[in-house]
């Protein structure tokens, strides 16, 4: 590939990536409503998926500092959406689970987010969706390798 062609592709990738992420986050936020921020929704989503976790695990999964997760967890706890349970054998460990209220809110918002995503992917053929998801998974794998410092220049 020519050098200018690569630069054009990089610029296009950065422009499209920024636009897609910005618009998608905004649309998801509309579906979540005012009860939660996007970060809080993703936190509830993860806790729902695994059932129970620690704030350290959340910080690792979301690749943020523990203080950022602590702020999110405190807000979710204050709103009654999560419960904290201390480990009986190691009181330093605190497990996070969805409360009944948190589970109800998550289920309601997740249904709206799913409808949004369904309306978007409905614009594509099944073949396009499968190709896109395989490519997106490949991109995720490459980015994960770079993040883990497994790829060397």
Confidence label for 147 from pLDDT (cuts 50, 70 and 90): confident
Mean pLDDT of the residues in the chain = 92
Q: pTM here?
A: 0.82
What pLDDT does 91 receive? 81
Confidence label for 88 from pLDDT (cuts 50, 70 and 90): confident
Instruction: Kindly report the CATH number that applies to the domain delimited by 3-122.
Output: 1.10.10.10
Give 49-65 pLDDT, tens digit per residue. Answer: 999 999 999 999 998 99
The closest of 85, 20, 25 to 51, measured between CA atoms, is: 85
What pLDDT does 35 receive? 85
Q: Are 45 and 110 in contact (CB under 8 A)?
A: yes
Contacts of 38 (CB under 8 A, 6+ apart): 25, 28, 29, 32
What pLDDT does 148 receive? 85
């Amino acid at each position: 590939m020519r050098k200018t062609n690569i630069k054009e592709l990089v610029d296009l990738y950065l422009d499209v990536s920024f636009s897609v992420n910005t618009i998608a986050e905004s649309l998801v936020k509309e579906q979540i409503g005012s009860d939660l921020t996007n970060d809080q929704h993703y936190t509830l989503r993860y806790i729902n998926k695994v059932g129970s976790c620690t704030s350290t695990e959340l910080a690792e999964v979301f690749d943020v500092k523990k203080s950022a997760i602590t702020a999110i967890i405190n807000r979710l706890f204050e709103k009654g959406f999560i419960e904290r349970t201390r480990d009986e054998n190691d009181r330093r460990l605190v497990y996070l689970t969805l409360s009944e209220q948190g589970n109800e809110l998550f289920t309601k918002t997740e249904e709206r987010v799913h409808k949004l995503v369904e309306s978007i992917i409905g614009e594509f053929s099944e073949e396009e969706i499968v190709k896109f998801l395989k490519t997106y998974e490949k991109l995720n794998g490459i980015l994960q390798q770079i993040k883990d410092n497994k790829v060397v220049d």
